[in-house]
Amino acid sequence: MDSNWKLLPSKSAILHMRFAFSFFLLPVFLFAYSQAPQVILINAILTFTIWHLLVYPASNGYNSYFDKDEKSIALIKNPPLVDKSLYYFSILLDLVALMLAAIFSWSLFVAVVIYGLFSKLYSHPSVRLKKYPIVSFLIVFLFQGACVYWSSYAAISGLDIFTGWNPNFVIAGLICSCLIGATYPLTQVYQHEEDRKRGDQTLSLVLGVRGSFWFSAAMFIISGILLWTYWLRLELITNFWLFLLLVLPVILFFCSWLLKVHKDPSEANFRNMSRLTLLSGAMMVVYFGLLIFI
């Protein structure tokens, strides 16, 4: 059998799947879990498995296969060469995710189909939506944020997604999208040279290094306003003050990094991006995790 057709992933393929990166998207799932009117435990476990162990790694792997990065990418300072097993294993994970979702939630199944489709359109060279700055941003903004929140909320609670549509439900999804949108250009800010070489007009490349920081700040402020509105409507405003307390270290690091970049653009590098991503991801996981118990 031709080794190119192996479904078992190589060590390189496993690394490019970046399973650990799912940690940084965990706040969306935790928020949906904490706000679900009822929690069906098996549904919650399956929903977590589908997104964090199957769909996200599959998307990462598919993107890496076609990007063929030679320099640092998220969580990988020196990415190894990709091989065909990365492509086939990412497709396999997507198929498993679809089969699991079909068992218990049609809304989650549809969300996984749409997410997987746009993930492939985002990366595949025949379409490569990644090279269009606004379109690529909106795909990540909508599908990693609101789409995941809304479908996870419905799947975890065992409800039809259409029964949950009210202002709070919509606002919660937009909060997730804005938080995702705030980090998006900063994950690209050190990749301008490689993106130019591939012909990808990423949002960060269009905004420039400093513009990427100001865009992220604006998105974060909008997410804060939405979060304040959300908790005010639910008469749980103390949850907003808890958010501000926990993100204070993130804000301080962001401001410090921004000042460094204004003095020296080379400070917009993989190391600083990784530090901010890890800090903000950890604080968001703590905050949205605490909401489950409040």
What CATH number is attached to the domain comprising 124? 1.10.600
Tokens of 217: 């700040």
pLDDT beyond 70 at 162: yes
What pLDDT was estimated at residue 183? Answer: 94
What pLDDT was estimated at residue 267? Answer: 92
What pLDDT was estimated at residue 96? Answer: 97
What is the 3 state secondary structure string of 195-233?
HHHHCCCCHHHHHHHHHHHHHHHHHHHHHHHHHHHHHHH
Write the pLDDT tens digit of every residue in 21-73. 889 999 999 999 999 999 999 999 999 999 999 999 999 888 888 877 666 56
pLDDT beyond 60 at 4: no
Confidence of residue 1 (pLDDT cuts 50, 70, 90): very low
pLDDT beyond 50 at 2: no
Write the pLDDT tens digit of every residue in 224-276. 999 999 999 999 999 999 999 999 999 999 999 999 999 998 898 889 998 99
Q: Helix, strand, or coil here: 110?
A: helix
pLDDT beyond 80 at 5: no
Q: Helix, strand, or coil here: 73?
A: strand
pLDDT beyond 90 at 81: no
Q: What is the dihedral of CA 110, 111, 115, 117, to 10 degrees?
A: 10
Q: What would the mean pLDDT of 87-96 be, rounded to a whole number?
A: 94
Q: What would the mean pLDDT of 205-214 be, rounded to a whole number?
A: 93
Domain boundaries, position 239:
3-290
Write the pLDDT tens digit of every residue in 168-199. 999 999 999 999 999 999 988 888 877 787 77
pLDDT beyond 60 at 3: no
Q: What is the dihedral of CA 291, 224, 272, 180, to 10 degrees?
A: 80
Q: Are 148 and 22 in contact (CB under 8 A)?
A: no
What DSSP designation does 107 have? H
**What is the rounded distance in angstroms from the CA atom of residue 169 to the CA atom of residue 146?**
10
Q: What domain count does the chain have?
A: 1
What pLDDT was estimated at residue 130? Answer: 83
User: Of 126, 252, 253, 261, which is closest to residue 207 (Cα–Cα)?
Assistant: 261
**Highest mean pLDDT, choosing among 78-92, 118-132, 150-164, 182-196:** 150-164
What pLDDT was estimated at residue 150? Answer: 97
Q: What would the mean pLDDT of 137-150 be, rounded to a whole number?
A: 95
